[in-house]
Structure 1
Amino acid sequence: MQNYLSNAFLAAAIAIVVSIIMGPIMIPFLKRLKVGQSIREEGPKGHYAKAGTPTMGGIIIITAVMLASFIMAGTSTEALAAVLLMLAFGSVGFWDDYIKVVLKRSLGLRAREKLGLQLLIAFLFGLLLILYFKRGTAILIPFTGHAVDLGWWYLPFIVFVVVSTANAVNLTDGLDGLASGVSFFVSLALAVICVMTGHYSLSVFCGALAGACLGFLVFNRHPARVFMGDTGSMALGGAVAAVAALTRSEIALIIIGGVYVIETLSVILQVISYQTTRKRIFRMAPLHHHYELKGWPETRVVRYFWGLSFVFMLLGIWSFWGVG
């Protein structure tokens, strides 16, 4: 175990270094490609200054995680499975970004196309878990130490978890450093759970994921020099969901990724309220925009959500203590 813990820390260090090295290379390259971020007209006025900031920076995160994982986790099949799901969802995000910022089709992939690809990838991953990894179909219940066997209901369940997690991270990615900072804390929590449940090689992947998020923050913190785009947010969502599935901590992910959940619920509630009453609950959704429109500086909103994510990280680890 001690060896894997050392490898996890080294993986984090490698991912940080790779991200920091790649930033000055990728950012000018993305600028030359003119893959600048477009800003929603109905969004906070302060965001207009962000127009043209290069996006698709998630390539930095994906590359850093892959290199660090392969160097430190070696031939671990679990780490490879997590990398593959991250890469698959990152590819969907990359395609969406490419259509929007390179081909100049503002809507990117059609909703049904994006969702169809996500469902297919998640379904294949679920089959891989059950048939190849012999993971079984039980999920662990936080705070109880008990497991519930879903049987073949596990397959639609894990498809829902993977797809909803990827899209929740995507919704969270709306302010400089928000999604990368929150995902850093989520990755740390999952790394601890991997150690608690004996998935030591997977903790190396989580270390790489945390390091990549931290390294990316060097360029993504306010004022951001690059955005991760759907390329990065989808990849992070796939990576987080993969680890949760492999460690049977899918339910605990609701707690660990509490910020993701809050951001997603704010959008759902806003849509339901407007469709049924023509009134909005929040000034704008996702929730981070609500606080911006209330007059909070962007940096304050991000720090607030980082702090909340830190609390959820501790609560999630506590909820899983002794469960594995």
Structure 2
Amino acid sequence: MTLVTTLMAIAVAFIVSAVLGLVIIPTLRRMKFGQSIREEGPQAHMKKAGTPTMGGLIFLGSIIVTTITFSYIYDVLTTQTIVLLIVLVGFGIIGFLDDFIIVVLKRNLGLTSLQKLIGQIIVAIAAFFLLKLGPFETTVHIPFTEYTIELGVFYVAFLIFWLVGFSNAVNLSDGLDGLVAGTSSIAFAAFGVHSLIYGQYDIAMFAFVVTGAMLGFLVFNVKPAKVFMGDTGSLALGGALAMLSVLIKQEFLLLVIGIVYVVETLSVIIQVISFKTTGKRIFKMSPIHHHFELSGWSEWKIVIVFWGIAFLAAILPILLEVM
């Protein structure tokens, strides 16, 4: 996989996302698929009410079309590529159903937590059994060392936890214009580079296609956002990102590259535990990006800082890998 091929994959995915955005966003607006804003959220967000959501359809369409096209042309349409697409689409469908129930059927709670969890588990198990059709190692690698841990039959439980955990982590992080679109494009690009280093060109192709698709979506999602990705997009991205780390056998590397999502999730867990045990809140609001909002940071400043953290977290493992 050459540099030219990589740049072409990113560019085509970007263009397809941009074109789909020009078509889908007006359609969502005409159909009045607008975002509802929680009353308990930051008051500054109330002006975002009515902004079209379910915009994940834009980059999901771009990723599917571009991945299949390039994988076919360059003969890298493998079982691993198919598994990545299944996870992406499977988690995307779960998110779409949740968005549809909230936005279209006007049921504020959407899918229940149990319904989401069952759907996510089904997708994760399907991915596991597809992988087991070929030579798949049930080990996890400790980053920056030569050590691995053999999980054996327990790997399926780990895979479920990993995919469900990170899909929800990315979902929790999707609260500011451009935050997840920017951090995810960085994270997928980082895994694309790692895939090239390990010679896994099929996975690299997928990762770089997602990078391009997210940059195309960011054109419409950066502040002031013309569209939100909704659960349709955030659950799909989180699941696919976790699956990437599994396929290159660098699962725990995601804890570094996805540090923004880890911290966002931890802030929610800490807030809930603190309030239930002491009656006090550690943060002004969780996830932590809302804490910074209520502390006086502008939305744009928070997003830029989080992008910067995501970039540093992505580049450091690559530097350590090639040194």
Paired residue total? 319
Q: Residue 73 of structure 1 corresponds to which residue in structure 2?
A: 71
**8 Å Cα contact 1:168/1:260 also seen in 2:** yes
| Compared CA separation, residues 148 and 198, structure 1 to 2 (3 A) | same
**For the residues of structure 2 that align with 1:77 and 1:29, how far apart are their CA atoms?**
34
Candidates 108, 115, 118, aligned match of 1:116:
118
Aligned with 2:106 (options 99, 104, 107): 104
SS at match of 1:148: strand
Gap runs ≥5 in structure 2:
none
Q: Does 1:296 align with 2:294?
A: no
CA positional deviation for 1:6: 3.3
Deviations 1:172-192 (CA, angstroms, capped at 9, x unpaired) = 100000001000110011001
- The letter for the 2-side match of 1:37 is Q
Q: CA deviation at 1:154?
A: 1.2
Q: Which residue of 2 aligns with 1:21?
A: 19
- Tell me the distance in 1 between the aligned counterparts of 2:192 and 2:130: 22
**How far did 1:233 drift?**
0.3
Q: TM-score scaled to structure 1, two decimals?
A: 0.96
Cα pair 2:274 2:282 within 8 Å, conserved: yes
Q: Give the aligned residue type for 2:158.
A: F
Counterpart residue number, 1:218: 219
Runs of at least 4 residues off by over 3 Å = 318-322
- TM-score, normalised with respect to structure 2: 0.96
What is the CA–CA distance in structure 2 between the aligned matches of 1:33 and 1:23, rounded to whole Å?
A: 15
In 2, are the aligned partners of 1:142 and 1:319 still within 8 Å (CA)? no
Q: Counterpart of 1:299 in 2: which secondary structure?
A: helix
Corresponding position: 1:60 with 2:58: yes
Match of 1:94 among 83, 96, 112: 96
Partners of 2:242 and 2:81 in 1: how far apart?
13
Q: Distance in 1 between matches of 2:282 and 2:26?
A: 41
Give CA deviations for 1:242-288 in whole Å, capped at 9, x if unaligned. Answer: 21111111110111100010000000000000110110000000010
Question: How far apart in 2 are the matches of 1:199 and 1:246?
Answer: 9
Match of 1:148?
A: 149
Structure 1 segment 1-324 matched on structure 2, within 5 A: 1-2=1-2, 5-74=3-72, 75-129=77-131, 131-318=132-319, 320=321
**Deviation at residue 239 of structure 1 after TM alignment:** 1.4
Identity, in percent, stands at: 47
> Retained in 2: the 8 A contact 1:252–1:319?
no
Matched residue of 2:251: which SS? coil
8 Å CA contact 2:12, 2:66 repeated in 1: yes
The code of the aligned residue for 1:14 comes to V
What is the letter of the counterpart of residue 64 of structure 2?
Answer: M
What is the Cα deviation at residue 210 of structure 1?
0.3
Counterparts of 1:234 and 1:226, CA distance in 2 = 16
Q: Give the C-alpha shift of residue 128 in structure 1.
A: 2.1
- Separation in structure 1 between the aligned mates of residue 7 and residue 205 of structure 2, nearest angstrom: 8
User: Structure 1: which amino acid aligns with 2:26?
Assistant: P
Aligned residues of 2:86 and 2:127 also touching (Cα < 8 A): no
